[in-house]
Structure 1
Amino acid sequence: MNEYAWPSLMLLALVAGVFSGYPVAFILAGTGIIFAVLADVPMLFLSMGVQRIYSGTLTNWLLVAIPLFVFMGLMLERSGIAERLMRSLASLFRSTPGGYAFAVAVIGVIMAASTGIIGASVVMMGMMALPAMREAKYDMRLASGLIASSGTLGILLPPSIMLIILGDQMRLSVGDLFLGAIGPGLLLAGLYFVYLAAVANFTPHRVPAPPTPERRSFLPTVLALARDLLAPALLILSVLGTIVAGVATPTESAAIGAAGAMLLAFVSRQLNLGVLREAMYETTKTTAMIVFVMIGASIFSVVFRRLGGDAMIVDFFDIQDSNPYWVLFTIMALIFILGFFLDWVEITLVVVPLVAPVVALLDFGLRSDQVMIWFAIALAVNLQTSFLTPPFGYALFYLRGIASDLPISVIYRGVMPFVLIQITALVLVILIPAVVLWLPMAAR
């Protein structure tokens, strides 16, 4: 039998299991155990998987930040602050072509930096902005694509659950990843604004201004916007500022953010037992899903490495004789294709541990720690695209759920320009590592 037969069969079994529709956590763990028995791996060896689950997942202090950040985002979404901010921005931009579109893009950045909950962001912006855009006779392809793509910024901009898991899997500082993601996140948002400005300038009929703009005093509108921006700005500062200043760890800053979001909900008179129960239920459900996938991935990876999977991956990329950027391109293309079918959690927990050691051996003219931070953020930009790519882009289904009268073909066509924008941002991040590294290196 070929020396890589067992790990190759494991990968094929994993792919078949994922497409069966069975829960991914059980597919990962079951595949690992079945192939350990088939390949005659000593059962005592599986105790390493148990130890890894206990020490790497269940008692990992860093992962406590996940439920805290999820809870923070849910409480902030229920406080009504984002809804008031959307109305203020829409009022400010109302009289200009593309006004609603610019408002959605701005609120997407603010929500991303204060909540990081993709489903909540897409649903909230869709419910508030889509009817107004439809009434203003916007091109529904552009409107749906913008809402879906702006809502996914939360998976990239800190505080991002994805960056916490990447930091844990790649043994990197979450604080460095948070700082490194700010540049690419703002770059991506800037490209959105450039695209919207081009549409408003060259094809204004797609984003028309109201025929009779509503007259409002400029100063009260600006003051209302500043008031609505204050709360999320303070929350962002309390979370990211404490990390950058070295006052708190990411886990401690997550606790600060959760407490701050509860306080904002209380001040907004939206905090009650029902809201608290619902937020805790959703937090528990999301955290349990992530932890169970991590447990399954731990069992799978332990057996996969025992059967020679690491050596197979290294030989596959042939890193000794290949151009490092060609290897990186191959990895990114693989992850981009997997994003059509798999969720970012599965890709992060299964694929990243396999390809990260390969990238660590490549020479990009950077220090090893810089290479891994740069690679992790490039991965995050790539994985963000998985929320938008058909047929299983989650943001597309969130939007479809609240706009059932909108044909799915319209949504698919609407996100295509934004997928191209995200690919452009990924290329820029790869070609210009300083976009990622300047802030983490300056903070050291």
Structure 2
Amino acid sequence: MTNPEVALLMLGLFIVLVLLGFPIAFTLLAMGVAFGYYAYFRGPIDGVSDIFNNNIFYLLNQNTYSVMENPTLVAIPLFLFMGYVVERANIVDKLFFSLYQAARNLPGSLAIAALITCAVFSTASGIVGAVVTLMGLLAFPAMANANYNKSFASGVICAGGTLGILIPPSIMLIVYSAIADLSPLRLYAAAVFPGLLLAGLYIVYVIVRVYLNPALAPRPKMEDVPPPREIYWNLLVSFVPLTVLIMLVLGSILGGLATPAEAAAMGALGGMVLAVLYRSMTWKKLKESVFLTAKATAMVCWLFVGSWTFASVFSYLGGHDIIADWVGGMALEPWQFLILAQLIIFLLGWPLEWSEILIIFVPIFLPLLDVFGVNPYFFAMLVALNLQTSFLTPPMAMSAYYLKGVLKKQIELMQIFRGIMPYLGIVILTMVLMYQFPGIALWFPDYLFGPYIP
């Protein structure tokens, strides 16, 4: 039954419960079933009441089955497994210190090395919490020992650690393709240059900031720098193998040689081969990687089941229609619609993580893209950039809490917040640049696959 008031109550109650700390996936599931029981109530059979005579249970069953059989989502556990294996292969510490040695003549060399390591590792991992945590244990002590400003160092790690949800092969883009029914290949191609642009602007900011204020990041002592031959060798054995693995995975996808799931399987196998070659593969580490992969995958799948059930009931009650009518009644220009949508997503990033925003709220805007004539892949890239802010926006900046969790008393939370604020501005600047020059996102997919035809 259509009842927009109940739909809005459902949405408001969900936000309140999330802010109170209830688990997202099961809150979605419980509210979907509870409000769905009202929406899909069929009444008694032959005058006899039957509490299970309700289509919400059929809907829940179908949504669960749809998640299990979705071929696109198969890539998620494989990419996760690849990331966990690489994390435990002791590749990242070798990569960080070799990049630091190579960038020793640049202002803020440790910070630049941390950003590049975050970009490479987070691309292989796609797990923001794991990247920020590991780099907090690895890079922050190195920067602290080099007398780097703590706030500056923490901002580098928090911002760099979020790049993996944007730069392909990204788990977030796999999820988006399943939600919006878009080609993951086009999404990957569209995300390449925005991701590299954002990472490049982070590095430029670090260089300029340290050049203007050298006290933030003192230069390394020359006696700490090994000879060039050793530096090149360290880069060869640490940076090249992991980068080649990522490029092979991404290249096979963009080249049409493999589906994302097949490429993810290649990446998982490649991660295990690298771990063996680095002599860091043990039975214990393999079991840990499998367990963490199963745990993270289960979380994502339950989030899908809960959010699709929630969204189905919300739409059936008329929630999507009332929002679409409200936006349509404002007589907005396309650019005004884009600003409004991105502002709402930005504000939602304060209390929510990217997965909840993506699965629950982005589908509200998708039917409006045709109305305003917005390219769905361009909109996807704006959303993908905007979701970076969900990790960087106080007071619920999750990357800051990940870092605080591992550093404990070494730094105050407010110091981390101050460190990440410039990177929040850089994300917004990148969104403005992409809006002014849509080719940043659309040229590469059009070049590879031809112009997009709705």
TM range (shorter): over 0.9
Structure 2 residue aligned with 1:156: 166
Residue 139 of structure 1, CA deviation: 1.2
Aligned counterparts of 2:395 and 2:225: Cα–Cα separation in 1: 43
Q: In structure 2, the residue corresponding to 1:341 is in which secondary structure? A: coil
Q: Which deviates further from its counterpart, 64-73 or 211-220?
A: 211-220
* 8 A Cα contact 1:95 1:214, kept in partner: no
Q: Which deviates further from its counterpart, 239-248 or 204-213?
A: 204-213
One-letter code aligned to 2:424: V
Q: In structure 2, the residue corresponding to 1:443 is in which secondary structure? A: helix
Q: Which deviates further from its counterpart, 317-326 or 4-13?
A: 317-326
* 8 A Cα contact 1:112 1:158, kept in partner: no
Q: Which deviates further from its counterpart, 107-116 or 148-157?
A: 107-116
* 8 A Cα contact 1:88 1:225, kept in partner: yes
1:235 maps onto 2:245 in alignment: yes
Residue 110 of structure 1, CA deviation: 1.5
Structure 2 residue aligned with 1:402: 406
Structure 2 residue aligned with 1:13: 13
Q: In structure 2, the residue corresponding to 1:361 is in which secondary structure? A: helix
Q: How does 1:96-135 map to 2 (within 5 A)?
A: 96-135=106-145
Q: In structure 1, the residue corresponding to 2:133 is in which secondary structure? A: helix
Q: In structure 2, the residue corresponding to 1:252 is in which secondary structure? A: helix
Structure 1 residue aligned with 2:444: 439
Structure 1 residue aligned with 2:416: 411
Q: 2:338 aligns with which of 304, 328, 332?
A: 328
* 8 A Cα contact 2:37 2:56, kept in partner: no
Q: Which deviates further from its counterpart, 227-236 or 36-45?
A: 36-45
One-letter code aligned to 2:103: F
CA pair 290-373 structure 1, distance change in 2 beyond 3 A: same
Aligned counterparts of 1:358 and 1:212: Cα–Cα separation in 2: 58
One-letter code aligned to 2:402: Y
Residue 170 of structure 1, CA deviation: 0.2
Aligned counterparts of 2:93 and 2:225: Cα–Cα separation in 1: 22
CA pair 321-136 structure 1, distance change in 2 beyond 3 A: same
Residue 226 of structure 1, CA deviation: 2.6
Q: Which deviates further from its counterpart, 163-172 or 297-306?
A: 297-306
Deviations 1:247-280 (A, max 9, x none): 1000110100001101111111111110011111
* 8 A Cα contact 2:101 2:225, kept in partner: no
Q: 1:427 aligns with which of 428, 432, 438?
A: 432
Aligned counterparts of 1:55 and 1:284: Cα–Cα separation in 2: 18
CA pair 49-55 structure 1, distance change in 2 beyond 3 A: same
Q: Which deviates further from its counterpart, 180-189 or 4-13?
A: 4-13
One-letter code aligned to 2:384: A
CA pair 209-285 structure 1, distance change in 2 beyond 3 A: same
1:270 maps onto 2:274 in alignment: no
Q: How does 1:21-420 map to 2 (within 5 A)?
A: 21-39=21-39, 41-42=41-42, 44-46=54-56, 49-50=59-60, 52-318=62-328, 321-364=331-374, 371-404=375-408, 405-420=410-425
Q: Which deviates further from its counterpart, 315-324 or 397-406?
A: 315-324
* 8 A Cα contact 2:39 2:313, kept in partner: no
Residue 129 of structure 1, CA deviation: 1.4
Residue 37 of structure 1, CA deviation: 3.4
Residue 79 of structure 1, CA deviation: 1.0
Aligned counterparts of 1:18 and 1:414: Cα–Cα separation in 2: 27
Aligned counterparts of 2:59 and 2:308: Cα–Cα separation in 1: 6
Deviations 1:171-218 (A, max 9, x none): 011111111111110010111111112112211111111355534322
Aligned counterparts of 1:381 and 1:246: Cα–Cα separation in 2: 25
Q: Which deviates further from its counterpart, 31-40 or 195-204?
A: 31-40
Q: Which deviates further from its counterpart, 382-391 or 165-174?
A: 382-391
Residue 232 of structure 1, CA deviation: 0.8
Deviations 1:129-163 (A, max 9, x none): 11121121111111000011001101111111110
One-letter code aligned to 1:353: P
One-letter code aligned to 1:425: T
Structure 2 residue aligned with 1:367: none
TM-score, normalised to structure 2's length?
0.92
Residue 77 of structure 1, CA deviation: 1.1
Aligned counterparts of 1:262 and 1:360: Cα–Cα separation in 2: 44
Structure 1 residue aligned with 2:47: none
* 8 A Cα contact 1:83 1:128, kept in partner: yes
CA pair 29-215 structure 1, distance change in 2 beyond 3 A: closer
* 8 A Cα contact 2:107 2:207, kept in partner: no
* 8 A Cα contact 2:148 2:217, kept in partner: yes
What is the aligned length? 438
Residue 45 of structure 1, CA deviation: 3.7
Residue 115 of structure 1, CA deviation: 2.1
One-letter code aligned to 1:168: A
* 8 A Cα contact 1:75 1:261, kept in partner: yes
* 8 A Cα contact 1:199 1:207, kept in partner: no
Q: Which consecutive unaligned segments of at least 5 residues does structure 2 have?
A: 43-52, 450-454
One-letter code aligned to 2:418: R
Aligned counterparts of 1:132 and 1:58: Cα–Cα separation in 2: 44
Aligned counterparts of 1:4 and 1:128: Cα–Cα separation in 2: 51
Aligned counterparts of 1:293 and 1:3: Cα–Cα separation in 2: 25
Aligned counterparts of 1:17 and 1:317: Cα–Cα separation in 2: 26
Deviations 1:326-369 (A, max 9, x none): 111111111111111111111111101111111232124xxxxx
* 8 A Cα contact 1:319 1:362, kept in partner: no
Residue 53 of structure 1, CA deviation: 1.0
Residue 12 of structure 1, CA deviation: 1.2
TM-score, normalised to structure 1's length?
0.94
